[in-house]
Amino acid sequence: MSPASQIFTAEETLDPSYLPARLVHREAELALLARRFRAALSKGLPYHCLVTGGVGSGKTALVRRLATDLDRGGRLGDLAVRSIYVNCWRRASDRTVMLDLLRLVHVSLPDRGYSLSEMLDVFEQGIRRTPQHLLILLDEAAALVRQDTKLVYLLSRSREVELGSISLVLVAAQDLFPYLDPASRSSFGVTHRLALSPYDREALTDILEERAKLAMRPGSVDRDVLEQIARIAAPNGDARFALEILAGAAHAAEDSGSDSVLAEHVRRAKGSLLPTVTEEHLGALSTNQLGVLLALSRSLKRRGASVPSQKLRAAHAALVEELGAAPMSRTTFWRTLKELERDGLVTLDAAGTGESSQVGMDELPASLLTTLLEERTGGARARKG
C-alpha cells in the first residue's frame, strides 16, 4: 500500500455527497431563503419554494444546507423544524415518494395495497405524534411533477388538508411552474421561485479553492491550477465537473509521486473524464495547426497552465526553424490560433487581447500530444530540440 497521502488530508470532503458548511457565491441565495422560511414558519405558516438551475449549479447543496441550518436553528414560533430529503430521480411516482416519506417519519407500511390518500392518513398520524415544522425537500422533481402529481398539491395544501405544518421545496433543472396544476401554482408564485445562475469562472475558482482547503494539504495546489480547472468547467458552470477534475488531478499527482497538483495533472484528469480529442481529430488538422499545437504542447510541458502568446510565437518560430520549414507570418500564426480556438483545441484568455493573450490547452496531457504530433510532423527530427 502507498504511504500516507501526499496531497489529501480529507479526501471524503471532495465527494459529491459531502455538504460543506460554507457555500461560497451562494451566500445571498441561502440568506434569502432562510429569511423567507423563518419569517413564515415563525408565524406558524408553511412556506414553499421551487429552486431551479443547471447541473452542478449547487441546487442540492443549497437546499440541503438550508434545511440543515433550519433544523439546527431552534424553534420557530412554537415548533422545531425537521427536514426530510427525498431524491425523486427514478422514484417518480406519488406512491414511491410517499413510501420514502413514510419511512423517513418512521412509519412502515407494506408497499402494496394502499391508496395515496390512505398513505397520507398514515403519514399524518406519524407526524402528529411529534408536532413540528416539517420541511420536505423533493430533489430532481421534474419527472414527478410532469406526471400529474397529486402529492405536490396535497403537501403544499397541508393546512387545508389538515396535515399540520408542511413546507415544500421542489428542486429541478428546469422551471417546473408550467407543469404544476393551477391549484399548486398559487403556492409557487414569483416570490417562491429561485433560479440559480450558472457559476462563472471566478466563482468556480473560489469554490475549488474552498473545497481544496478542506480536502487537501495547504500549498498542494496553486490558484492558477484551480483557475485552469475552472476554465474547463466554466462553459457549463458546473461545480460538480470542476470538483471531479480536481479530485482526478490530485490522484494523478499522487500517482506520479508529486506533492502538488500541476497543470499537467489537470490535463491528464480532464483527458480521462472527457476525452474530446481523438487521433482522428488530430489527423484532420492542417500542418500549420499541428505546428502551433506542437509548439504549445512543448511550452506547456515546461511552463504550466498557459503561455503568453508572444512566448508561444517564439517557441513556434524555433520549432519551424528546427524542422527546416518556411517561417509563418504573424497574421497566419494568429489565424491558426483562432482556428484552433474555434475547434475547441486551445483556449485564448478573453482578458488579454491580441499579442498579450494567454494561450492554454486542456484537452489532453501535453506529453501525449507532443508524442502524437511529433509522429505526424516528422518524429526524431522534431524531437532532438
By CB under 6 A, name the binding residues for ligand ADP: 16, 20, 23-26, 53, 55-61, 207, 210-211, 239-240, 243
Of 76, 4, 89, 86, nearest to 43 by C-alpha is 76
Instruction: Give the residue with the Cβ less far from ligand ADP, 23 or 282.
Output: 23
56 binds, among ligand ADP, Mg ion, none (CB under 5 to 8 A by kind): ligand ADP
Integer Cα distance of 100 and 144 in angstroms: 14
20 binds, among Mg ion, ligand ADP, none (CB under 5 to 8 A by kind): ligand ADP
Q: Are 167 and 48 a contacting pair, CB within 8 Å? A: yes
Site string for Mg ion, 119-148 (x = CB under 5 A): ------------------------------
Integer Cα distance of 264 and 367 in angstroms: 8
SS3 (DSSP) at 63: helix
CB of residue 318 to Mg ion, shortest distance in Å: 49
Query: According to CB under 5 A, which one of 29, 33, 56, 60 is a site residue for Mg ion?
Result: 60
CB of residue 12 to ligand ADP, shortest distance in Å: 12
When asked if residue 149 is in the footprint of Mg ion (CB under 5 A), the reply is no
CB of residue 129 to Mg ion, shortest distance in Å: 31
Residue nearest to ligand ADP (CB): 58
Sheet holding 49-52, edge to edge: 81-87, 133-139, 166-172, 49-52, 193-195
Q: Are 374 and 294 a contacting pair, CB within 8 Å? A: yes
Q: Using the structure block, give the residue that is written with the C-alpha cell 405544518.
A: 165
Instruction: Give the residue with the Cβ less far from ligand ADP, 57 or 299.
Output: 57
Q: Side chain identity at 322, as an amino acid letter?
A: E
Q: Which residues contact 226 (CB under 8 A, 6 or more apart)?
A: 205, 208, 209, 212, 246
Query: How many residues bind to Mg ion according to rule CB under 5 A?
Result: 1
When asked if residue 357 is in the footprint of Mg ion (CB under 5 A), the reply is no
CB of residue 93 to ligand ADP, shortest distance in Å: 22
Q: Which residues contact 99 (CB under 8 A, 6 or more apart)?
A: 109, 111, 119
Instruction: Give the residue with the Cβ less far from Mg ion, 17 or 115.
Output: 17
Q: Which three cell numbers stand for residue 95?
A: 406512491
CB of residue 22 to ligand ADP, shortest distance in Å: 7
23 binds, among ligand ADP, Mg ion, none (CB under 5 to 8 A by kind): ligand ADP
25 binds, among Mg ion, ligand ADP, none (CB under 5 to 8 A by kind): ligand ADP
Instruction: Give the residue with the Cβ less far from ligand ADP, 89 or 159.
Output: 89
Integer Cα distance of 188 and 177 in angstroms: 7
26 binds, among Mg ion, ligand ADP, none (CB under 5 to 8 A by kind): ligand ADP
CB of residue 55 to ligand ADP, shortest distance in Å: 5
When asked if residue 156 is in the footprint of Mg ion (CB under 5 A), the reply is no
Instruction: Give the residue with the Cβ less far from ligand ADP, 20 or 308.
Output: 20
SS3 (DSSP) at 57: coil
When asked if residue 220 is in the footprint of Mg ion (CB under 5 A), the reply is no
Integer Cα distance of 322 and 327 in angstroms: 11
CB of residue 59 to Mg ion, shortest distance in Å: 5
Q: Using the structure block, give the residue that is written with the C-alpha cell 449549479.
A: 57
CB of residue 17 to Mg ion, shortest distance in Å: 11
Instruction: Give the residue with the Cβ less far from ligand ADP, 56 or 304.
Output: 56
Of 30, 39, 20, 16, nearest to 66 by C-alpha is 30
When asked if residue 52 is in the footprint of Mg ion (CB under 5 A), the reply is no
CB of residue 223 to ligand ADP, shortest distance in Å: 16
Q: Which three cell numbers stand for residue 324?
A: 527546416
Instruction: Give the residue with the Cβ less far from ligand ADP, 14 or 312.
Output: 14
- The strand ranges marked E within 279-362 are 306-308, 347-348, 358-360
Integer Cα distance of 55 and 59 in angstroms: 8
- Cα-Cα-Cα-Cα dihedral of 214, 261, 199, 24, to 10°? 20
When asked if residue 57 is in the footprint of Mg ion (CB under 5 A), the reply is no
Integer Cα distance of 371 and 338 in angstroms: 23
CB of residue 287 to ligand ADP, shortest distance in Å: 42
Applying CB under 5 A, the residues found at the interface with Mg ion are 60
